[in-house]
A and B are shown apart, each in its own frame.
Chain A
Amino acid sequence: MRVIATYNIKGGVGKTATAVNIAYLAARDGFRVLLWDLDPQSAATFLFRVRPKVKGGGKALVAGKRPVDDAVKATDFPNLDLLPADFTYRNLDLHLDNERKPATRLRALLAPLRREYDLVVLDCPPSISLLSENVLHAADLLLVPLIPTTLSVRTLDQLTEFIAGFDGKRPRILAFFSMVDRRKRLHREIAEELRASRDDVATTAIPSLSAIERMSVGRQPVAALAPRSQAARYYRELWLEARERAKLSVRPAPPGQTGSAPH
């Protein structure tokens, strides 16, 4: 089982859209996927039409009083399950801090899912907190969406430095430009410059496209809603890059399932 997390300290940079589409595309490729919506705003949960409610809340999950797989809901797509968000997740830092090894608690909670899933995608709330530290420790790959601005690039440097300080397991990073406006010269220049200077920046950039925004109306991943759209194609390319970086081996889709049709 591999863990991919979408992470950025800033909000509104496309983390949820990325998590949802990457999870969907992985499931369509035959991987057994769990998407955990860790954000109390519950946008990913909303996109899959699931109620943002976990019995016992975040406290019960973190304390291990309720097994993680007990709270899992199937989405309408084969191979793709969701661990919904809950408003109590806003206090996850407090609950994690009550545990014995607070920084690696999330990793421990995911361990029993190893047999059931090939991939866990974590959709993180924008913050720098104990929860985000947990995510960094649990992930094999961090997908970091960046708005092409000088400040975002600084954030990536800070993140890289922070992870370099970890003992033992460190996640790999795959940064990618998100919400790119190709008409803006500054966006193009920053993207080219960063790709030239770092090897952890994806070739794929996700432009700012209305199809992505329409996901919240259609309440489906754009790759399902408009599979032939440009947006779907970009996410597909990003998924292929992420899959290679996360070293996920190709898994054939189970017989009788096309992968693209809902359950």
Chain B
Amino acid sequence: LPSHLREFVLSGEPLAAGASLPRIEDPQFDFAIGRTARTVRRTWFDTFDWRLFRAGLTLELVAERGGGEFVLTGRDGDTVAVQPAGGQGATRIKFPCAVDALPIGQLREHLAPVTGVRALLPIVKATSTLREHRALNADEKTVAVVTVERMTVTQPRHGDTAARLTIRPLRGYDAQAAKLADSLSGAPGVEPAATSTFESALKAVGRKPGDYTGKIDVRLTAGMPAALAVAAILDALFDTVEVNLPGTIRDVDTEFLHDLRVAVRRTRSVLKLAGSVLPESVVCRYAPEFKWLGDLTTPTRDGDVYLLAYPAMAAHLVAATPDELAPFHDYLARRRAGAHGQLARGLSGKRFADLARNWRLELDVISAAPRPRPRAGAFAARRITTTHQKVLRRGAAIGPDAPPEALHDLRKRCKELRYLLEVFASLHDPSQQWHAIREMKALQDCLGEYQDAQVQHAELREFAARMMDERRAPAATLLAMGEIAAKLAERANVARREFAGRFAEFSSPRGQARIAALTKAGT
């Protein structure tokens, strides 16, 4: 049965006093009215960035007296996996948690590739009262179960939803159930449900699925004052910082900090490259504050990068065994835990609170009376062109013997260009923007791989020295780390060799034309 015939919303109060179901004028069907109601507690889960929703999946914990189960459904509402939860003998799962905390089974197998490093969070909770009625044909045979559900959202805050009516055909009775659905849809106050139960629950608390994305979502126009555009961008970036703050402090998963850091870096780049349209005092005051914020996050993120890459590093050991490398993991984990403690204290402290409060006030002042000139379109085009030219010049100067620092510097300039393209994206043609970003990304990936491998190689030596000082480094562990160092050096060499080709592609007339097209369209 297609979903539009399966679920209905009872708008207003279509049930007559004392009636259990809307009145339908169809002599083919009769109903056996369910006398008892069930109470069900429903919790929906997703990652913070809606990875399940974007993959067309819905994860729900349905609990009632005597136990419950996790139900994973696909886009068409079909069940993908079911896993008992609660009840006797079942492991209690404490959310938020990584997908690894779920018991081994089909559910985890389906979820793991989708959630990746992100934790599963309870997004919304509700309590439903369900009353099931049976639709009977002329032989008094049940052809479908009609459920009327009244749901109240309980978390993150209280909210009411319209009653829903669901038709579940019995196997082999799809055609009769479809006729029943037709009759029901003609009844007064009965509308086909436009959204899922999950979406209705979200709507009741003012949310919608997919309402967070790490991308910048600011609507700019070419004719608006550049100062207003830049203030709007900075405001949106700080939204990202703040929305990721609790997850970073509670250390829910590594991506909260990642997204927070990216927003801080973007803010710093915007201040640097587009700050000329803002009052100079603002830039002078806040550029160092955001540098402080960025620096505060660096040690934890470095730890995350190592720990995230650790399983692959251990798996690729040839001479050494993963067990021999384990003390290195313990060392990294300890370091990272210490760094996170400092980060959490910093983000919960006065300096950050002052920054947050004053920064918003400052942006409000700028937005209230922006300088009328320059206009956003022309300004963005100029900034992108200048930064693009800088990337081209610096890249062209990098020969086979250039020092690593030259490539590191180019990487920074590329990031700046990328951020400019992204923050002014709403001024550009989406398809041209996509092509330009794709080309940039290929060059950036190469530069990133080179620098990461190089920096990690150097750091690994430092870690080994410190571990020896702290007497935490058995000889076997140091040998295993040596193997990893060799792999990192090899990765850096490969990336270095690939650089010339990638840059040639980026700086080719075609590559240059892609960026030029953006700047033209933006004005």
A165 CB–B CB distance under 8 Å: no
A-B contact pairs, 29 of them (CB 8 A): A48-B141, A49-B139, A49-B140, A49-B141, A50-B139, A50-B141, A51-B139, A71-B172, A73-B171, A73-B172, A73-B173, A74-B142, A74-B171, A74-B172, A76-B141, A76-B142, A76-B170, A81-B171, A255-B66, A255-B67, A255-B69, A255-B84, A256-B38, A256-B66, A262-B32, A262-B142, A263-B134, A263-B145, A263-B170
B87 CB–A CB distance under 8 Å: yes
CB atoms of B64 and A72 under 8 A apart = no
In terms of DSSP, what is the predominant structure of the interface of chain A? loop
Contact with B along A73-99 (1 / 0, CB 8 A): 110100001000000000000000000
CB atoms of B64 and A74 under 8 A apart = no
Total interface residues on A, using CB and 8 Å? Answer: 15
CB atoms of A72 and B172 under 8 A apart = yes
B68 CB–A CB distance under 8 Å: yes
A73 and B174 alpha carbons, distance in the complex (Å): 10
CB atoms of A255 and B172 under 8 A apart = no
Q: In the assembled complex, how far is the CB of residue B404 from the closest CB belonging to chain A, in whole angstroms?
A: 58
Closest to B65 in A: A256
Q: In the assembled complex, how far is the CB of residue B309 from the closest CB belonging to chain A, in whole angstroms?
A: 40
Pick from A49, A72, A219, A255: contact of B171, CB under 8 Å: A72
CB atoms of A76 and B134 under 8 A apart = yes
Q: In the assembled complex, how far is the CB of residue A185 from the closest CB belonging to chain B, in whole angstroms?
A: 43
CB atoms of A255 and B145 under 8 A apart = no
Within 8 Å CB of A71, what residues of B?
172
Residue among B69, B141, B170, B173 facing the most chain A CB atoms (10 A cut-off): B141
Q: In the assembled complex, how far is the CB of residue B11 from the closest CB belonging to chain A, in whole angstroms?
A: 28
Within 8 Å CB of B139, what residues of A?
49-51
A residues apposed to B, CB below 8 Å: 48-51, 71-74, 76, 81, 219, 255-256, 262-263
Within 8 Å CB of A51, what residues of B?
139
A49 and B170 alpha carbons, distance in the complex (Å): 13
A81 and B64 alpha carbons, distance in the complex (Å): 26
Closest to B132 in A: A263
A49 and B68 alpha carbons, distance in the complex (Å): 32
Q: In the assembled complex, how far is the CB of residue A61 from the closest CB belonging to chain B, in whole angstroms?
A: 14
CB atoms of B141 and A256 under 8 A apart = no
Residue among A50, A73, A219, A255 facing the most chain B CB atoms (10 A cut-off): A255
A51 and B139 alpha carbons, distance in the complex (Å): 9
A72 and B141 alpha carbons, distance in the complex (Å): 15
Within 8 Å CB of B140, what residues of A?
49, 219
Closest to B168 in A: A263
Nearest 6 CB-CB pairs, A to B?
A73-B172, A49-B141, A74-B170, A74-B171, A76-B142, A49-B139
Within B132-173, which residues are at the interface with A (CB < 8 Å)? 134, 139-142, 145, 170-173
CB atoms of B67 and A263 under 8 A apart = no
CB atoms of B134 and A73 under 8 A apart = no
Q: In the assembled complex, how far is the CB of residue A86 from the closest CB belonging to chain B, in whole angstroms?
A: 13
B residues apposed to A, CB below 8 Å: 32, 38, 64, 66-69, 84, 87, 134, 139-142, 145, 170-173
A255 and B62 alpha carbons, distance in the complex (Å): 11
CB atoms of A262 and B134 under 8 A apart = yes
**Sample of 13 more A-B contacts, CB < 8 Å, known A71-B172, A263-B134, A263-B142:** A49-B141, A51-B139, A72-B171, A73-B170, A73-B171, A76-B141, A219-B140, A255-B66, A255-B87, A256-B64, A262-B134, A262-B142, A263-B145
CB atoms of B173 and A74 under 8 A apart = yes
Within 8 Å CB of B32, what residues of A?
262
Within 8 Å CB of A255, what residues of B?
66-69, 84, 87
A219 and B67 alpha carbons, distance in the complex (Å): 33
A74 and B169 alpha carbons, distance in the complex (Å): 9
A256 and B69 alpha carbons, distance in the complex (Å): 10
Q: In the assembled complex, how far is the CB of residue A259 from the closest CB belonging to chain B, in whole angstroms?
A: 13
A50 and B87 alpha carbons, distance in the complex (Å): 37
A51 and B170 alpha carbons, distance in the complex (Å): 14
Closest to B62 in A: A256
Q: In the assembled complex, how far is the CB of residue B78 from the closest CB belonging to chain A, in whole angstroms?
A: 15
Within 8 Å CB of A81, what residues of B?
171
Q: In the assembled complex, how far is the CB of residue A84 from the closest CB belonging to chain B, in whole angstroms?
A: 9
Closest to B87 in A: A255
Q: In the assembled complex, how far is the CB of residue B448 from the closest CB belonging to chain A, in whole angstroms?
A: 47
A50 and B140 alpha carbons, distance in the complex (Å): 9
A263 and B170 alpha carbons, distance in the complex (Å): 9
Within 8 Å CB of B141, what residues of A?
48-50, 76
Q: In the assembled complex, how far is the CB of residue A12 from the closest CB belonging to chain B, in whole angstroms?
A: 25
A81 and B141 alpha carbons, distance in the complex (Å): 13
A51 and B64 alpha carbons, distance in the complex (Å): 36
Q: In the assembled complex, how far is the CB of residue B172 from the closest CB belonging to chain A, in whole angstroms?
A: 4
Closest to A82 in B: B172
A43 and B139 alpha carbons, distance in the complex (Å): 15
Q: In the assembled complex, how far is the CB of residue B161 from the closest CB belonging to chain A, in whole angstroms?
A: 22
Within 8 Å CB of A73, what residues of B?
170-173
A256 and B39 alpha carbons, distance in the complex (Å): 11
A74 and B64 alpha carbons, distance in the complex (Å): 25
Within 8 Å CB of B66, what residues of A?
255-256
A144 and B64 alpha carbons, distance in the complex (Å): 42
Q: In the assembled complex, how far is the CB of residue B276 from the closest CB belonging to chain A, in whole angstroms?
A: 64
A81 and B171 alpha carbons, distance in the complex (Å): 8
Closest to A73 in B: B172
A81 and B84 alpha carbons, distance in the complex (Å): 24
Within 8 Å CB of B38, what residues of A?
256
Q: In the assembled complex, how far is the CB of residue B462 from the closest CB belonging to chain A, in whole angstroms?
A: 54
Q: In the assembled complex, how far is the CB of residue B100 from the closest CB belonging to chain A, in whole angstroms?
A: 24
Q: In the assembled complex, how far is the CB of residue B147 from the closest CB belonging to chain A, in whole angstroms?
A: 11
A72 and B171 alpha carbons, distance in the complex (Å): 7
A132 and B139 alpha carbons, distance in the complex (Å): 31
Within 8 Å CB of A50, what residues of B?
139, 141
Residue among B32, B64, B134, B142 facing the most chain A CB atoms (10 A cut-off): B142
Q: In the assembled complex, how far is the CB of residue B237 from the closest CB belonging to chain A, in whole angstroms?
A: 46
Q: In the assembled complex, how far is the CB of residue B255 from the closest CB belonging to chain A, in whole angstroms?
A: 34
Closest to A81 in B: B171
Within 8 Å CB of B134, what residues of A?
76, 262-263
Within 8 Å CB of B145, what residues of A?
263
Within 8 Å CB of B64, what residues of A?
256
Within 8 Å CB of A262, what residues of B?
32, 134, 142
A262 and B36 alpha carbons, distance in the complex (Å): 13
Q: In the assembled complex, how far is the CB of residue B270 from the closest CB belonging to chain A, in whole angstroms?
A: 53
A74 and B38 alpha carbons, distance in the complex (Å): 23
Residue among B64, B142, B145, B172 facing the most chain A CB atoms (10 A cut-off): B172
